[in-house]
Structure 1
Amino acid sequence: MTAPIRVPGAGPEPSPPPARAALPRRPVPGTGALRETGQLMTLAATTVRDTFRRPFQMRELIEQFWFVASVTILPAALVSIPFGAVIALQVGSLAQQLGAQSFTGGASVLAVIQQASPLIVALLIAGAGGSAICADLGSRKIREELDAMEVMGVSPVQRLIVPRVLATMLVAVFLNGLVSVVGTAGGYFFNVIVQHGTPGAYLSSFSALAQLPDLYISEIKAVIFGFIAGIVAAYRGLHPKGGPKGVGDAVNQSVVITFLLLFLVNVVLTAIYLQLVPQKGA
C-alpha cells in the first residue's frame, strides 16, 4: 500500500510514530563464570609457554622457592602427624571389627601416601604461599607496576608468574615426600602404641599391598596440585576488583577456588589411577 501524497499547505505535518523503547539487555547466565574460566585457562597456557622462553628468572625462582618452603614446611610436618594418626586409628578400628588387623598398616600407609599427603601439601601451599603470591601480585596491579612492565616490553607472566608457579610445584614435590614419611611414622606409632598393634604385621601388610606406582601417583598429584595453587593465586592477583579491599577479597577467593579445584581434580586423578593401574595382589 503506497503512502498518500501530501499537498503543500494542506495542514500541519503529521507527527512521526513514537520510537520503540529498547528493551534492557539481560546478562546471559553463566557468561561471567565462563569468561573467568577461559581467562584462567589462557593464563595457565601462557605460563606453560613462557616457562621455556629466555631469559629464565632463576634468581626469582630461588627466592620464591625459599619463601614458599619456609612458610609451609613446619606446618606441613606438624599437620601430617595428626592426619596419619587419625587415618591409622580409624582404619585400625575398622580392621579389628572385621577381623583383618593384618591389613591395617597397608591400608593406612596407602591412604596417607595416595590421598592425604598431596592434599595436605597443596592446601598448605594455597593457604600460606598462594595467598602471599596473590597479595603481592594484587598490590603490584593496583599500583600499576604490571602495566608499567608491559609498557617497557617486559612480560609480567614471564618475569613474575612463571617463577612463582614453578616454586609452588617444586615445593609441593619435596614437601609431599616429607609429609608421606612423617604421616606414615605417625600412623605406625599410634597403631603400635595406642591400639597395641604388631610392628611386624604393620610393616608386612604395607609391603604386601603397596607398590611403586602409588608413590608415582602421589608425586604426580603434588605437581598438579602445586600448579593449580600457583596459577589460581596468580590469576586472582592479576584481577583485583577495587583497591586494597579488592586485593583482600582476591586472596580469599584464590584460597576458596583452589580448595574446590583440588578436591575435584583429586577425584578425577584417583579414578583414572585405579582404572589404569592394577592393584597389588588383585
Structure 2
Amino acid sequence: MRPFRATGEFVAFCLDTLRSLFRRPFQFAETIQQAWFLVSVSILPTALVAIPFGAVVALQLGSLTKQLGAQSFSGAASIIAVVREAGPIVTALLIAGAGGAAMCADLGARKIREELDAMRVLGIDPIQRLVVPRVLASAVVAVLLNGVVSAVGIAGGYVFTVMLQDGTPGAYLASFAALGQVADLVSAELRALVFGILAALVGCYLGMTAKGGPKGVGQAVNTSVVVSFMLLFAVNFVMVAIYFQVVPQKGS
C-alpha cells in the first residue's frame, strides 16, 4: 500500500500548494531568486543540448525526405519536430534534472536540520514560504527555456540542412508555413509550463519528506529525478494525444 499512500500524499501536497498560491504575503523576492538560480544552472546546458538535437533531427529528416522525394519539406519537418517535441522534452529533462534535484536537496537539508519544523512552530507555512516560489519560478523558467531550445534548435537545423545537405535556405523556412501553425508553439509552451510545475512539485515534495539524514536526502534527490522523468514522459504522451485530437492539422 506504500505507493498508493505516497501518491495520495503527493496529491494532497499539490492541492495545498495550489491553495497557498492565493495566500498573502506573496514571496516575490524568493521567487525571483529561485528563477535566477534555475536560469543560471539551466541556460548553458539547454543551449548546448539544443544545437546537436536540432542538427540530428535535421539530418535524419533531411535524409528521409530526400529518399521520399519531398526534400522541399525537410525544413518544415525539422522545425515542427523541434518545436513540438524537442523543445518541451529537452526543457523538461533539464528542469527536472538540474532544477528539481537542487530543490529536493535544498528542502531535504532543511528537513533533516529541522528548519521546516521550526518554521511551523513560528507559525510560518513552509509550503507558502518555500514551495510556492519554487513552483512559480520553475514554471516561468521552463516556458522561457522552451523558447530558447526552439530557437537554437531551429538555427542548428538550418545550418546543417543548408551546409551539409545542400538544402535551399528559402525553402527551409518557407515550407514551415505550409505545415506549421501557431497552435504548435502554443502547445509546446503549455507542455513546458506543465513540465516545470510537475518537476518542482516532485522535487519539493520528496525533499520535504526526506528521512534518514544526509543519506536519505541523497536517495530523495535520486528518486526525484527518476520519478520526474517518468511522470513527464507520461504527461507528455497524454498532452500530445489530446492536442492531435483537438487541433486540426494543416494538410490533413
> Post-superposition shift, 1:152?
1.2
> Post-superposition shift, 1:281?
2.2
Number of the residue aligned with 1:256 = 226
Aligned mate of 2:28, from 32, 54, 58: 58
Number of the residue aligned with 2:186 = 216
Q: Deviations over 1:117-137 (max 9, x none)?
A: 011111111111111110000
Letter in 2 for 1:83: F
Aligned mate of 2:15, from 45, 66, 73: 45
> Post-superposition shift, 1:106?
0.8
TM-score by length of 2: 0.98
Judging by fraction of residues, say which structure has more helix.
Answer: 2
Number of the residue aligned with 1:131 = 101
Number of the residue aligned with 1:273 = 243
**1:82-121 equivalent positions in 2, closer than 5 A:** 82-121=52-91
* Structure with the greater alpha carbon radius of gyration: 1
Query: Is it true that 1:75 corresponds to 2:45 in the alignment?
Result: yes
Q: Deviations over 1:42-95 (max 9, x none)?
A: 111111110111000000001000001110011101110000001111111111
Number of the residue aligned with 2:176 = 206
Looking at structure 1, the residues matched to 65 and 38 of structure 2 have their Cα atoms a distance apart, in angstroms, of: 39
> What are structure 2's unaligned runs of at least 5 residues?
none
CA contact (8 A) 2:162 2:169 kept: yes
Query: Is it true that 1:244 corresponds to 2:244 in the alignment?
Result: no
Looking at structure 2, the residues matched to 212 and 52 of structure 1 have their Cα atoms a distance apart, in angstroms, of: 31
> What are structure 1's unaligned runs of at least 5 residues?
1-30
Other structure's SS at 1:196 match: coil
Number of the residue aligned with 1:163 = 133
> Post-superposition shift, 1:107?
1.0
Q: Deviations over 1:94-152 (max 9, x none)?
A: 11111111111111111111111011111111111111110000000001110111111
Identity of aligned residues (%): 62
> Post-superposition shift, 1:254?
0.2
CA contact (8 A) 2:112 2:211 kept: no
Query: Is it true that 1:195 corresponds to 2:171 in the alignment?
Result: no
